[in-house]
């Protein structure tokens, strides 16, 4: 023994000792305590068709940079969980689309053991971001409690992950195809604070408001950062959901989509679509049903969420904005 002990595995943020491979830029930003924003890959590979997925992702990365943070796309490649991809790698993931399997938290070990690739959902992205020391994550909408849950038992693992993993997730609420009242109830049960970003109403993804009230409205990123830090001062506290409505210019009205949603849900049932295939199926079907208007709204809200997330990341970062 020379008195020097083995470096301890990082267990503060990681529940285990899984390692996340970081791009040089993300690694440097984290090392210097600068703002980093995680972005998920399920929306890239399953949520939007090519090339709208690639364009939307590029716009989100740009928005993150403009607001002073470093974007870190999260995905699993050949079994390795990674944060931060080159533009060429992003493009090849976007082109690969659905051939990359959709991966949630429970799949991470499996992918590693089998050296397979996965497009990470909100849940899996949170787990990887947290293990890497990334505290803020921007997405479109979280998964939640599905309509018809009493028959299907379909509740997204995103909710469970939000309950236990310390990442602030900026999203435009949850997709309107879900049962939003039950999703909000579940978030309360799971101890997840839901902070309206400039709103007292839970957003419904492509629609600005769901009609469901929120108790908390934060007016700016600094206020969100203060609440998030105070929440994390409690042992056992997990994630925080920051609910940012779709920008008005791109928003759809409830009556524009509700019928299309009902038709899509019926089509999914008839086609026997179940489990993890449900969300991608509904998103694709709705894009068709609305003549692409859901796609335009989806793009606008992802970019807006990226901007808000970057501002929160800057407010939380001890080293401030990116250089």
Query: Which residues make up the interface to Mn ion (CB under 5 A)?
Result: 154
Is there a catalytic annotation at residue 270? no
Partner from ligand PSU, Mn ion, none contacting 46, C-beta within 5 to 8 A by type: ligand PSU
Q: By the 8 A CB rule, do 247 and 300 touch? A: yes
| 30 or 297: CB nearest ligand PSU | 297
How many Cα neighbours within 13 Å face the side chain of 192?
Answer: 29
Nearest-approach distance from CB 261 to ligand PSU, in angstroms: 14
Is there a catalytic annotation at residue 40? yes
* Rounded Cα gap, residues 125 and 122, in angstroms: 5
Q: Which of 61, 161, 175, 276 is catalytic?
A: 175
| 140 or 238: CB nearest ligand PSU | 140
| 146 or 322: CB nearest ligand PSU | 146
Q: Which spans in 118-252 are helix H?
A: 122-132, 149-152, 157-164, 180-189, 221-232
Nearest-approach distance from CB 2 to ligand PSU, in angstroms: 47
First vs last C-alpha separation in the chain: 42
Partner from Mn ion, ligand PSU, none contacting 122, C-beta within 5 to 8 A by type: ligand PSU
* Rounded Cα gap, residues 171 and 303, in angstroms: 10
Q: By the 8 A CB rule, do 227 and 218 touch? A: yes
| 139 or 307: CB nearest ligand PSU | 139
Tokens of 171: 């999203």
- At CB < 8 A and 24+ separation, what contacts does 208-212 make? 208/245, 208/246, 208/248, 208/251, 209/245, 210/173, 210/176, 210/180, 212/180, 212/181, 212/184
Nearest-approach distance from CB 77 to ligand PSU, in angstroms: 17
Q: Which of 40, 61, 161, 289 is catalytic?
A: 40
| 107 or 154: CB nearest Mn ion | 154
Nearest-approach distance from CB 210 to Mn ion, in angstroms: 20
Tokens of 262: 């009902």
Nearest-approach distance from CB 28 to ligand PSU, in angstroms: 27
- Identify the H or E element spanning 301: helix 293-316
Which positions touch ligand PSU (CB under 6 A)?
A: 40, 42-43, 46-47, 121-122, 139-141, 143, 156-158, 276, 279, 283, 298
Tokens of 147: 């309509």
Nearest-approach distance from CB 283 to ligand PSU, in angstroms: 6
| 177 or 314: CB nearest ligand PSU | 177
Q: Give one DSSP letter per residue of 221-246, joined into a string.
A: HHHHHHHHHHHHTSTT---EEEE-PP
Residues forming the active site = 40, 175
């Amino acid at each position: 023994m020379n008195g020097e002990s083995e470096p301890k595995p990082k267990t503060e943020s990681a529940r285990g000792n899984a390692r996340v491979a970081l791009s040089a830029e993300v690694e440097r930003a984290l090392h210097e305590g600068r703002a980093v924003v995680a972005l998920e890959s399920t929306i890239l590979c399953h949520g939007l068709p090519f090339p709208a997925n690639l364009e939307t992702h590029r716009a989100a990365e740009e928005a993150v940079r403009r607001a002073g943070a470093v974007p870190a796309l999260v995905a699993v490649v050949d079994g390795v969980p990674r944060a931060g991809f080159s533009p060429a790698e992003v493009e090849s993931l976007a082109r690969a689309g659905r051939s990359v399997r959709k991966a949630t938290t429970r799949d991470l070990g499996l992918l590693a053991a089998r050296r397979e690739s996965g497009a990470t959902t909100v849940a899996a992205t949170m787990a990887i971001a947290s293990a890497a020391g990334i505290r803020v994550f921007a997405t479109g909408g979280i998964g939640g409690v599905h309509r018809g849950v009493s028959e299907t038992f379909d509740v997204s693992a995103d909710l469970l992950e939000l309950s236990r993993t310390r990442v602030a997730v900026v999203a435009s609420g949850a997709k309107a195809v879900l049962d939003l009242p039950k999703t909000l109830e579940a978030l309360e049960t799971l101890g997840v604070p839901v902070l309206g970003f400039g709103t007292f109403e839970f957003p419904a993804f492509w629609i600005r408001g769901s009609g469901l009230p929120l108790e908390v409205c934060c007016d700016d990123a600094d206020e969100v950062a203060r609440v998030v830090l105070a929440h994390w001062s409690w042992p056992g506290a997990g994630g925080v959901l920051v609910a940012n409505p779709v920008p008005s210019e791109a928003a759809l009205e409830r009556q524009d989509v509700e019928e299309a949603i009902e038709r899509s849900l019926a089509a999914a049932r008839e086609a026997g679509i179940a489990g993890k295939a449900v969300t991608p199926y509904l998103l694709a079907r709705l894009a068709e049903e609305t003549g692409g208007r859901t796609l335009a709204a989806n793009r606008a809200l992802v970019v807006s969420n990226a901007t808000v997330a970057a501002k929160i990341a800057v407010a939380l970062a001890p080293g401030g904005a990116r250089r």
